[in-house]
């Protein structure tokens, strides 16, 4: 498996430029890709090791054609410049200030004024369902007037329960949502715009404390997958750090006990994002440990390690390493083996079993399919199968990175595209939506992506809990 985890300077299937969207009126533009003021290319940045552009390097293009753009930082290829536009498919005032997206795409605020929106799903009729962690409710949002946004009068509360915070799913006429300890469901007819009543308990007695998200996913057979993160940074409690699988067609009174579910995948510190690809395979994105030190590898190596993981769950019952092992992203020259290499956690090196060799034995540990930069906090994952992006995007994954806290220079705060070879295995990643304005992108931008979903017209929808918005990213061929 390719575990390079490095960004690239040029996107296969997408043009090389990034479009920086700012809400400026009166430029005479009426879509993406119009002439404007060039503001920098996509020279390699710090996150992608010479690859994802727009992070550290800034092109130096000037003029409407976006000339110039050698980029600085990293060793990625220089950019072609970018075009400042005034609006996307919603009102001009909805354009996302400072957002950098690939040329030909636009980013706009699809909905605002939400209370820490987290998990998001799109109903068959196009309605958007989102969990508000700040209010412990599920909201339904819609665009009744067709203006490309969901305004204050185009939303309603459909469900509420104590502690609802992240997980959401739709299956067989039910809306599912989770708190840290419980999964509930409500009978849900598409198009419902009123509260659905008292929920039915689906899964109970999930261990509380520690990582609190309980992401939900369904396979083609209708089985429910529930992820639970660790109770602490390095936690050997195996009632946590796993994905369990449940059959939920007919439920007993009081619901199913969490510890009675099948242990589908183990050794997963905090597998927040779960999604099935077009072939029906389950994938997840994992948040690695913090404050990593190993004297023989350079001492304090936590700035760039461990790599966040993209994992494939194609066989039930396998072990993915945590808490004994971690994945390399970038170690000091002369010490590392390359992104994705497995190393033992220093707390277990002396136990007589869990050393580096044990971690590298695939009979013991399934290595990640791809690694992302340390501490970028991947929380959401979706595979593109919509009608509007260029053909090369079909089968690729889009990952929401919430952003770092355990790093001197903040990174993340973006959505990345993971390129798949023939829809089968991930090859590389690069930035798709990020801060492209002046200053420190991570410290100054208000948006922190949480989850991603595909809208009814093929646009990518992104929740941001920090700014209380849902952002839409569309291609120019998409009509309002």
Mean pLDDT score of the chain: 83
Residue ranges per structural domain of the chain: 108-434+441-475
Average pLDDT over residues 237-258: 94
Average pLDDT over residues 450-464: 97
**Per-residue pLDDT reduced to its tens digit, 7-30:** 333 333 444 334 444 332 222 233
**Torsions phi, psi for 464 (to 5 deg):** -130, 110
Write the DSSP assignment of 355-376 as a string of letters: SHHHHH-TTT-PPPSEEE-TT-
Using 50, 70 and 90 to split pLDDT, how confident is the model at 187? very high
Tell me, what's the pLDDT at 422? 77
Q: Percent of the chain scored above 70 by pLDDT?
A: 79
In this structure, what DSSP letter does residue 200 have? E
**Per-residue pLDDT reduced to its tens digit, 343-397:** 999 999 999 999 999 999 999 999 999 999 999 999 999 999 999 898 899 999 9
**Per-residue pLDDT reduced to its tens digit, 260-306:** 999 999 999 999 999 999 999 999 999 999 999 999 999 999 999 99
CB 158 within 8 A of CB 193: yes
The token pair at 414 is: 């973006």
Average pLDDT over residues 450-457: 96
The token pair at 36 is: 């404007």
Q: Which residues contact 278 (CB under 8 A, 6 or more apart)?
A: 383, 385, 394, 395, 423
Q: What is the CATH number of domain 108-434+441-475?
A: 2.120.10.30
Peptide bond into 149 cis (omega under 30): no
What is d(CA 446, CA 98) in angstroms, rounded to the nearest whole number?
Answer: 10
In this structure, what DSSP letter does residue 298 have? T
**Per-residue pLDDT reduced to its tens digit, 409-443:** 999 999 999 999 876 899 999 999 999 877 665 55
CB 107 within 8 A of CB 472: yes
How many Cα atoms occupy the beta-carbon half-sphere of 466 within 13 Å? 14
* Distance from chain centroid for Cα 159: 24
């Amino acid at each position: 498996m390719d575990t390079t985890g490095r960004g690239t300077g040029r996107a296969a299937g997408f043009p090389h430029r990034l479009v920086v969207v700012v809400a400026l009126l009166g430029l005479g533009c009426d879509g993406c890709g119009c002439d404007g003021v060039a503001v920098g290319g996509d020279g390699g940045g710090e996150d992608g090791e010479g690859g994802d552009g727009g992070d550290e390097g800034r092109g130096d293009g000037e003029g409407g054609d976006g000339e110039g753009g050698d980029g600085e930082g990293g060793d990625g290829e220089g950019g072609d410049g970018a075009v400042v536009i005034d609006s996307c498919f919603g009102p001009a005032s909805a354009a996302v200030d400072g957002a950098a997206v690939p040329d030909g795409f636009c980013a706009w605020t699809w909905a605002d004024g939400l209370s820490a929106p987290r998990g998001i799903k799109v109903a068959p009729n196009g309605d958007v369902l989102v969990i508000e962690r700040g209010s412990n409710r599920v909201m339904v949002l819609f665009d009744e007037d067709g203006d490309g946004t969901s305004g204050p009068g185009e939303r309603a509360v459909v469900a509420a329960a104590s502690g609802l915070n992240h997980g959401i799913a739709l299956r067989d006429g039910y809306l599912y949502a989770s708190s840290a300890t419980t999964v509930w469901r409500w009978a849900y007819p598409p198009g419902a715009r009123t509260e659905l009543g008292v929920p039915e308990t689906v899964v109970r007695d999930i261990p509380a404390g520690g990582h609190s998200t309980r992401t939900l996913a369904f396979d083609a057979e209708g089985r429910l997958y529930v992820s639970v993160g660790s109770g602490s940074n390095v936690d050997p409690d195996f009632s946590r750090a796993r994905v369990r699988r449940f059959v939920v067609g007919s439920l007993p009174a009081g619901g199913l006990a969490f510890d009675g579910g099948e242990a589908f995948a183990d050794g997963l510190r905090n597998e927040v994002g779960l999604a099935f690809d077009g072939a029906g395979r389950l994938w997840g994105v994992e948040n690695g440990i913090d404050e990593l030190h190993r004297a023989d590898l350079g001492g304090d190596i936590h700035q760039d390690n461990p790599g966040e993981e993209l994992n494939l769950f194609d066989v039930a019952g396998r072990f993915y390493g945590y808490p004994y092992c971690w994945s390399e992203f970038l170690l000091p020259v002369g010490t590392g083996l390359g992104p994705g290499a497995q190393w033992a956690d220093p707390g277990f090196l002396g136990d007589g079993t869990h050393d580096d060799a044990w971690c590298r034995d695939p009979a013991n540990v399934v290595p990640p399919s791809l690694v992302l930069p340390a501490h970028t906090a991947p929380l959401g994952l979706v595979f593109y199968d919509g009608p509007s992006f260029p053909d090369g995007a079909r089968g690729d994954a889009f990952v929401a990175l919430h952003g770092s806290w355990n790093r001197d220079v903040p990174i993340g705060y973006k959505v990345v595209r993971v390129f798949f070879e023939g829809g089968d295995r991930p090859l590389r990643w690069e930035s798709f939506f990020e801060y492209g304005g002046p200053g420190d992108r991570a410290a100054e931008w208000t948006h922190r992506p949480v989850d991603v979903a595909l809208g009814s017209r093929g646009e990518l929808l992104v929740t941001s809990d920090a700014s209380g918005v849902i952002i839409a990213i569309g291609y120019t061929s998409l009509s309002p």
